[in-house]
Amino acid sequence: MTIFEKILSKEIPATIVYETEKVLAFKDIAPQAKIHILFIHKLAKTKDVSEMMLSHPDQISDLFQAMTDFAKANNLGKGYRIVTNIGDEGGQTVYYTHFHLLSGEKLGRFGK
């Protein structure tokens, strides 16, 4: 079981900032910006977005709906970044599909 499934089942704690029937969002334990939130789908059975696109594209839509709702509710109109890492070389460390939402300050350009 991945760490995010343990967060979903409340086996380990997380700071939850947004929740719907389908989506859970919580603060990243090692924030890379002033605001760094992770968005996961409660019904996901996939390890990354590429798998999710094949089996449940509707879940990607649910996640983007949640992220845009969150951005609006938290007045992130000055800007934010949505990132998803795929595979080892893409920087992925947790193999349960998720998106990062980064905001709260002027972000740098992409790095290696």
CB of 5 to ligand 5GP, least distance (A): 11
CB of 15 to ligand 5GP, least distance (A): 7
- Can residue 39 be called a binding residue for ligand 5GP (CB under 6 A)? no
Which residue out of 36, 41, 56, 98 is catalytically annotated? Answer: 98
CB under 8 A, 24+ apart: contacts of 3-8: 3/94, 3/96, 4/38, 4/40, 4/94, 4/96, 4/98, 5/96, 7/40, 8/40, 8/42
CA distance 93 to 86: 9
Which one of 5, 17, 28, 51 is in contact with ligand 5GP (CB under 6 A)? 28
- Can residue 92 be called a binding residue for ligand 5GP (CB under 6 A)? yes
Please confirm, yes or no, whether 36 is among the known catalytic residues. Answer: no
- Can residue 91 be called a binding residue for ligand 5GP (CB under 6 A)? yes
